[in-house]
Chains A and B, each alone.
Chain A
Amino acid sequence: MATALVYLDGDPRESALEAVTLARQVGEVVAVTPAALGEDAARTLGRYGVARLVHLETGGVALDAPAAVGQALADAATQLGATAVLLGSTFATKEIAAHAAHHLRAGLLIDVGDLRVHEGRLAGSKRAFGGTWDTSCAVTTECGVATVRPNAVQAEPVATPAEVQTGALTVTAAVPAGLELVGRQEHAGEGGRPPLAEAAVVVAAGRGTFGDFDAVHELADALGAAVGTTRDCVDEGWLPHDAQVGQTGVTVAPRLYIGAGISGAPHHIGGMSASQTIVAINIDAEAPLVEMADFAVVGDLASVLTDAAEAIREHRGGA
């Protein structure tokens, strides 16, 4: 049976389990991590059908630089005879994917929402041009590298959990000459909210807030959502740059995207158009985001968001 590697940068999050779920379509799944994971992680992965969990042993080379991780992953793929190497789809993992593909001389698919085998080669589909086109691509090489868009599928456990084999794999990795990670500052988590790029629900708000995000946070809390914003609001200093949804910010593809007080500039739409259900709240019924929404409320965002949050809490409380 074909082997599909899934790269995890730590304990399996929802997005990793989604990638594992997709990986099962194309082969027996081997999860690869930069450091050894605990028994809980192994058990979780087993429930999702992972056959093997291996951590990369580099002989002391730090797996920080994308070039080093990509090389290590490519070596693992070669040793394990993988025909697919899958990663999540963030800026950091795309860089690793590029280096892995370079070393494997493999075809590279980016941001796919599904995976299959087409005439013996890895294939996947993605949306393009602000969500207006669907494309599907196959690699022409024996092994393919793909990054998988979060929330494209629901992570599904297998009927019979697998007994996961765990162990280390010695691989070659080198950091490019002179390249050095000088510092890394983790951002304080925003009240336990999910990472924006992977969130299943995103509540985004724009200039229509006039800088007051209280109601936005209230609805996000009620929904367990990540909070996003627009370039305008970042420029105003209302929210940090890593909350910016858009083509040059964070690309999101949640199951539910709620955009409040956002008119829908092309840059913003390009960064959220792969969302499954789109809700807009705006005083302007003709705003582009309203026109592309599945459901829209014309009205003042502060009261609409607050009322919606209250109704959702009531529903949850009564459920």
Chain B
Amino acid sequence: MKHVPELESARAFSAEGRTVRSTEDGTLNEVDENAVEAALSLGGDEVIAVTVGPAPAVDAVRRALQMGADRGVHVLDDALAGADYAATATALAAAVRSLGPVDAVVTGMAALDGLGAVVPSLLAAELDLPQLTVAHEVTHADGVVTIEREVAGATETWRAPLPVVLSVTDVANSPRLPKMKEILAARTKEVATVSLADLSLEVGDVASRTQVLEASQRPPRPGPQLVTDDDGQGGRKLAEYLISEGLI
């Protein structure tokens, strides 16, 4: 699970170049709801929601519990502030290992704040598991997961026996909407808060391999050069604009 700023909130970076996260305008990364749905659909004994992030990130786990996850794990440690892809994947992989043998690690295809889409692959590499990623269709039978995905102008079908790392797109399924009863029940579900030490990690193990040099807000766009097609000349004016800008 990833806790991300609402798409429609005023998203920003802090002076250290870190994403500003708060409870008020934070939410469960939307496509992670598809991941929860996929995990519930796999039909295992237990679904555990895991996140790495600052204190407000527990809200993302809570959302997964409302949808039907059985319990949660929140990796919370000051040393993870500003964690990059590698550090995040290392911490997540350690959290997964701490749970004992798991059948599948399920994620959304990308976090919709950074759009990196690499943590699922890094997790697979860290855990030394086959990856079935960017799946728009998932089937599971007899301990084998088969996915379809669309990449680079082709539809690919991949399969692998459990355990796997699976990442899903927003068309893979329709996430269930929790009812009031489930929302109330989720309040009593356990969320374990764990530190790096609890995961037998040292600060050096989660050192970021990248550093932000600069983060600055772009100036607001000046607004369009606006024409209307009332006189039937709109299309011609568009063509003239493209020609004048050297775009044709």
Contact = CB atoms under 8 A, between A and B. Distances in A.
Query: Do chains A and B interact in one complex?
Result: yes
Interface of A: 9, 65-67, 70, 90-92, 94-95, 97-99, 101-103, 105-111, 118, 123, 127-141, 176-187, 189, 195, 197, 201, 223, 234, 241-242, 247-248, 251, 255-256, 266-267, 270, 277, 279-281, 285, 290-300, 303-312, 315-316
A118 B13 CA distance: 21
Interface stretch (B36-44, B69-77, B205-213): B205-213
B230 interface: yes
Contacts of A223: 248
Contact of B229 (A70, A187, A297, A315): A297
Contacts of A296: 224-227
B134 interface: yes
B108 to A, nearest CB: 9
Contacts of A316: 248
A298 B229 contact: yes
17 contacts: A66-B121, A91-B109, A95-B117, A101-B209, A102-B125, A108-B209, A110-B115, A134-B216, A138-B213, A186-B154, A189-B153, A242-B153, A281-B238, A303-B235, A304-B234, A312-B239, A315-B248
B242 A256 contact: yes
A299 to B, nearest CB: 3
A291 B247 CA distance: 21
Contact of A106 (B209, B218, B225): B209
Contact of B235 (A139, A141, A182, A310): A310
A316 B248 CA distance: 8
Contact of B153 (A176, A177, A186): A186
Contact of B154 (A127, A184, A305): A184
B97 interface: no
A99 B153 contact: no
Nearest to A180: B159
B151 interface: yes
A135 B212 contact: yes
B158 A180 contact: yes
Given A133-B215, A307-B236, A315-B243, A110 B118 contact: yes
Nearest to B243: A315
Contacts of B114: 110, 128
Contacts of B159: 179-180, 182
B173 to A, nearest CB: 13
A141 B159 CA distance: 34
Given A107-B210, A131-B218, A241-B171, A297 B234 contact: yes
B182 interface: no
B244 to A, nearest CB: 10
A102 B98 CA distance: 21
B193 interface: no
Contact of B151 (A90, A141, A290, A306): A90
A93 to B, nearest CB: 8
A194 B150 CA distance: 17
Nearest to B240: A311
Given A178-B161, A182-B159, A185-B154, A270 B7 contact: yes
Nearest to B128: A176
A129 B9 CA distance: 10
Contacts of A95: 117-118, 121, 131, 133
Contacts of B85: 98, 101, 108, 110
Given A134-B218, A223-B248, A298-B228, A101 B86 contact: yes
Contacts of A102: 86, 121-122, 125-126
